[in-house]
Chains A and B, each alone.
Chain A
């Protein structure tokens, strides 16, 4: 299953299983705001499908790339930095996922890039089911039923 995530694309996974070096490399073909993207992991399936691995989610952060360039996502720990790639001369955003151990040692584990479309933010007070007429009716009916039993 391949969806559009332009201008980002997955360039590759390098040094799989090597501590401090294991990295996912994304290429941004145009200026892009990384805040709209996150990376997860999945298990490769036939026909370009994948099964997401739970609890593997890394937001790329509130950073914008003003020009085409690279995003190096090291799976280990380190200091976020901005630098230049030696051969292409393009900018590199070096990000660190902060995982305790390497996570891409198996070639069947693949990176997955998510681009946010809509986000629900859970910062409101809890709601009561009584506020929703449809639920309230059922709640009252069930309560009445249990009282008559």
Chain B
């Protein structure tokens, strides 16, 4: 359970708060110090009045919504770029291509499959080959990582 969920545990959340929390957990580019501050305020607010609680919660949600849509982390962007230059690759090739370990490559590739940016081709006699999906190509275009 994340720190923010712990802080909010037992407090009824308004509509939309769940998405905001999930986005905060997912984002790897969040302003950690500000979030920490708000989390501490939220934790403190459990002992305070409902009015104070709602003020802190609103402030926290606003802080989340003000941020630009989250970007993928550097490694995932490098993987997408690598796959944009290579039609398909196995996890070992991806690992070498972006200079990370093969286990890490496997993890990031599965995450990218979950977000439909990459797809995998499974065959009995060959390793899993990973390719860039339309969504992944779209991500690179939207963020001007390819032209």
Q: Which residues of A contact B (CB under 8 A)?
A: 11-12, 14-15, 18-21, 25, 70, 72, 76-79, 83-88, 92, 94
- Contact A11/B91 with A20-B103, A77-B103 known, Cβ cut-off 8 Å: no
B122 lies within 8 A of A20 (CB): no
Interface size band for B: 10 to 19
B124 lies within 8 A of A87 (CB): yes
Closest to A23 in B: B127
Q: Report the Cα distance A79→B110, complex, angstroms.
A: 7
Residues of A within 8 A of B124 (CB): 11-12, 14, 25, 70, 72, 85, 87-88
Q: Which residues of B contact A (CB under 8 A)?
A: 90-92, 102-103, 105-106, 110, 114, 120-128
Residues of B within 8 A of A92 (CB): 122
B106 lies within 8 A of A20 (CB): yes
The main secondary structure of chain B at its interface with chain A is mixed
List 15 A-B residue pairs with CB atoms under 8 Å apart, sorted by A's residue number. A12-B124, A14-B124, A18-B92, A19-B92, A19-B102, A20-B105, A21-B91, A21-B128, A72-B122, A76-B106, A77-B106, A79-B114, A85-B124, A86-B121, A92-B122
A83 lies within 8 A of B127 (CB): no
Q: Report the Cα distance A70→B126, complex, angstroms.
A: 14
Q: Which of A18, A20, A78, A86 contacts B123 (CB 8 A)?
A: A86
A85 lies within 8 A of B123 (CB): yes
Q: Name 13 extra pairs, CB < 8 A, besides A12-B124, A20-B102, A86-B122.
A: A18-B127, A19-B92, A19-B103, A20-B106, A25-B124, A72-B124, A76-B103, A78-B106, A78-B110, A83-B120, A84-B122, A85-B123, A87-B123
